[in-house]
Amino acid sequence: MSDRRTALSVLDLVPVRTDQTTGDAVAATLSLARVADDLGYTRYWLAEHHNMPAVAATNPPVLIGLVAGATTRIRVGSGGVMLPNHAPLVVAEQFALLEAAFPGRIDLGIGRAPGSDPVTSYALRHGAGGVSDEAVTRFPEYVDNVLAMMEPDGVGLGIQGRTYPLKATPAARSVPTIWLLGSSDYSARLAAQKGMPYVFAHHFSGSGTAEALALYRSSFQPSPELAEPRTFLTVNAVIAETAEEARRLALPQLLAMLTLRTGGELAPQLSVEEAEKVELPPAHVELVESMAQRWVIDAPERARARIEELAATYDVDEVMVHPVAGAWTGTEPAASPAREETLRLLAG
């Protein structure tokens, strides 16, 4: 990939198909991560979603440890940790320990969304009211707390007139690169204000990307960690030897996203053959086609050209692809060959 200007990275939600157990899905992710590592992809990020039948990415720090241990070079991180779900000290401890184990290879991407339904959010916060208004309101403070506690000197916590030292890990020598993630103007403004790297969820939202990135760049305030704005683009991708095959492989994920957008009942991801048997009303067909237009679904040459076009449009030098290719009936359960092929064909 050294002959291309645009660097490539990977976002993984650890999808679970109808023919897979959770263990199969994790095994497939580790295989996919090794492929990305071997091909020279820049980073491999894992999402946080809860109580979803088709997604096994419930715990980014655990997955990051597995993926970093299974690879040798690629940066591994969260895309992202949903901070209102967790105590800042816990997040700081987890990622300080990961950075200590894999120095220079860990990214901490932080988001504000719950990543789950209200009931699951309630359970995540020990029954203390779900992702409360207070947790969301205090998000900027929680971000500052995570940043400070991971520094080698830690922070001083004032209690009854005394200063209590608080460190995420006893003897830190480095800290992860910390990113803010978002799908609205809020995180763009906050990242700019704090002088942090920022990523807009283009793969999920599909709109508002240019406005969010322009806001981030125009209002960016340099920090000791970052002198200039730093961002990249995320996009759903399915690449196959032919455009027709790519379209077929994209259908299971398109139907899953349709279910999410229309309030249907979530289920494990269908096989390609199962997905092709689903009959949709005309309005849903239009919605699926509209989503597909925003994804990169094509043969290798045209797909690579589309990636470069997106990078130029949004003025980024890195694109993070979310490989969403489905699987044919009879595929080895502990593998996701079409997702791996997407990475290989895109790397060229």
pLDDT at 20: 98
pLDDT at 2: 40
What lies within 8 Å, CB to CB, of 69 at 6+ separation is none
pLDDT at 60: 98
What mean pLDDT comes out for the span 188-197? 97
pLDDT at 129: 46
Spatial separation of the C-alpha atoms in residues 24 and 29, rounded to whole Å: 9
Q: How far is CA 47 from the centre of its chain?
A: 4
Q: What pLDDT digit, counting tens, does each position of 130-163 carry?
A: 445 676 788 999 999 999 999 988 888 778 888 8
Helices 209-218, 185-194: inter-axial angle, 10-degree rounding? 20
CB 347 within 8 A of CB 40: yes
Spatial separation of the C-alpha atoms in residues 230 and 70, rounded to whole Å: 28
Q: How far is CA 177 from the centre of its chain?
A: 15
Q: What pLDDT digit, counting tens, does each position of 245-300 carry?
A: 999 999 999 999 999 999 988 899 999 999 999 999 999 999 999 999 999 999 99
pLDDT at 115: 65
Does the pLDDT at position 3 exceed 60? no
Does the pLDDT at position 64 exceed 50? yes
Spatial separation of the C-alpha atoms in residues 80 and 136, rounded to whole Å: 16
Spatial separation of the C-alpha atoms in residues 298 and 244, rounded to whole Å: 8
What mean pLDDT comes out for the span 105-130? 77
Does the pLDDT at position 234 exceed 90? yes
Residue 186 phi/psi, 5-degree rounding, is -55, -55
The angle formed by the CA atoms of residues 90, 110 and 325, to the nearest 5 degrees, is 115
CB 65 within 8 A of CB 98: yes
Q: 128 pLDDT band (50/70/90 cuts)?
A: very low
Spatial separation of the C-alpha atoms in residues 152 and 160, rounded to whole Å: 25
pLDDT at 113: 81
Instruction: Return the CA Rg of the chain.
Output: 20
pLDDT at 124: 76
What mean pLDDT comes out for the span 153-178? 89
- CB-count exposure of residue 313 (10 Å: 0-12, 13-18, 19+): exposed
Domains of the chain in sequence order: 7-347 (3.20.20.30)
Model pTM?
A: 0.94
3-state secondary structure of 70: helix
